[in-house]
């Protein structure tokens, strides 16, 4: 059961882990946790570029679930770190299918938050026959409106962070901040890309939680994966047609799902979760009234664990 002071299950170590070469350039890190004979779950991290952490294993009862986690191309322990060549949503979906084949899994529960919810929807729509259901958090549909909000809408809530984010960019380039940052994050020169990815990561990280949190120590590896891959994917609209994930909902609307959304999420605002629920009336939407974007905020973590526990009991969501 979860800890008495936390909605999460106790910390767990992987049963095994390894690296999988997915093409001539990229090798991805994977790990397997929990019960090797349990119900399979695929965990998809956010960002893109954020990578998995030990905390992500704790949303699942390790006696019941067989949890597969991996660092997406260019993220975490996958190599090369921050690499944007051969890095598209469609290629990530192919990587997931390689992992499913490697582990001999027929169907799995798909769990993802933020960008992980985007990738979960895209994967499910490409391979609905491989999915048992979905647990999704902090919905991001990767539309142009959401991307513009992420970059520019923040000034309405965090004007001081926005001013800090804009400051390194010359006035002549501020009309398109995403393009200006993408040019810098993708630069081969560390003197150019490191300040840019640090600024990008700070701009995002300081608005994840509803209430201010102590800032983490600087982490150039995390910043490089996050700053480069987020700007790369956003500048390409996630490699989707506009509103593709809503348009193609008919492919997975028959499958069970729980959507967990923080009411005061300023990174992925609730409108996207609302739109997804409208297109997926069989899904259950849990709006957490006192939370922002963070998966580890108490109310969101509790709702996510409640969803995996309910699926454990019935194989469905009520």
Q: What is the dihedral of CA 259, 262, 265, 268, to 10 degrees?
A: 0
Interatomic CA distance for residues 3 and 254, integer angstroms? 34
C-alpha to C-alpha distance for 258 and 162, rounded to whole angstroms: 33
Query: Is 140 buried (19+), middle (13-18) or exposed (0-12) by CB count in 10 A?
Result: buried
Q: How far apart are CA 66 and CA 89, in angstroms?
A: 25
- Partnered with residue 42 across adjacent β-strands are 68, 110
Name the 3-class secondary structure at 139.
coil
- From 26, 45, 193, 293, the catalytic residue: 293
Of the residues 26, 71, 95, 114, only one is catalytic, namely 114
Other C-beta atoms within 10 Å of 312: how many? 16
How would you list the strands of the sheet with 27-34, edge to edge? 16-21, 27-34, 65-70, 39-44, 108-113, 131-137, 257-262, 284-288
The helix or strand, by DSSP H or E, that contains position 19, with its residue range, turns out to be: strand 16-21
Annotated active-site residue 265? The verdict is: yes
Cα 314 from Cα 242, distance rounded (Å): 36
Q: 71 and 47 in contact (C-beta within 8 Å)?
A: no
Residue 242 CA to residue 302 CA, distance in Å, equals: 33
One of 61, 95, 248, 265 is an active-site residue; which one? 265
Which single residue is written with the structure tokens 């990815």?
Answer: 197
For residue 151, give every residue at least 6 positions away whose Cβ sits within 8 Å of its Cβ, in sequence order, or none. Answer: 177, 178, 234
Just list the catalytic residues: 114, 265, 293
């Amino acid at each position: 059961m979860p800890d008495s002071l936390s909605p999460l299950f106790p910390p767990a170590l992987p049963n095994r882990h390894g690296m999988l070469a997915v093409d001539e350039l990229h090798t991805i890190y994977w790990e397997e946790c929990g019960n090797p004979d349990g119900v399979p779950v695929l965990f998809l991290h956010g960002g893109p570029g954020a990578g998995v952490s030990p905390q992500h294993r704790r949303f699942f009862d390790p006696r019941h679930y067989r949890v597969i986690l991996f660092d997406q191309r260019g993220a975490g322990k996958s190599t090369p770190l921050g690499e944007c060549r051969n890095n598209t949503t469609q290629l990530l979906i192919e990587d997931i299918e390689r992992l499913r084949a490697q582990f001999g899994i027929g169907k799995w529960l798909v769990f993802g938050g933020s960008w992980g919810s985007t990738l979960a929807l895209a994967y499910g729509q490409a391979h609905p026959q491989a999915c048992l259901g979905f647990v999704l958090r902090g919905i991001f549909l990767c539309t142009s409106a959401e991307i513009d909000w992420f970059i520019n809408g923040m000034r309405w809530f965090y004007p001081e962070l926005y001013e800090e984010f804009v400051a390194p960019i010359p006035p002549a380039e501020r009309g398109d901040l995403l393009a200006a940052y993408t040019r810098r994050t993708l630069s081969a020169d560390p003197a150019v890309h490191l300040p840019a990815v640090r600024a990008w990561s700070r701009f995002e990280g300081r608005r994840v939680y509803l209430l201010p949190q102590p800032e983490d120590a600087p982490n150039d590896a995390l910043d490089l994966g996050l700053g480069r891959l987020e700007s790369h994917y956003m500048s390409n609209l996630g490699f989707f047609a506009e509103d593709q994930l809503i348009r193609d909902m008919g492919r997975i609307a028959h499958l069970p799902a729980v959507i967990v959304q923080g009411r005061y999420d300023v990174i992925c605002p609730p409108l996207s979760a609302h739109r997804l629920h409208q297109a997926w009336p069989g899904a259950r939407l849990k709006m957490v009234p006192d939370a922002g974007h963070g998966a580890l905020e108490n109310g969101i973590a509790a709702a996510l664990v409640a969803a995996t526990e309910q699926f454990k009991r019935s194989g469905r969501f009520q």
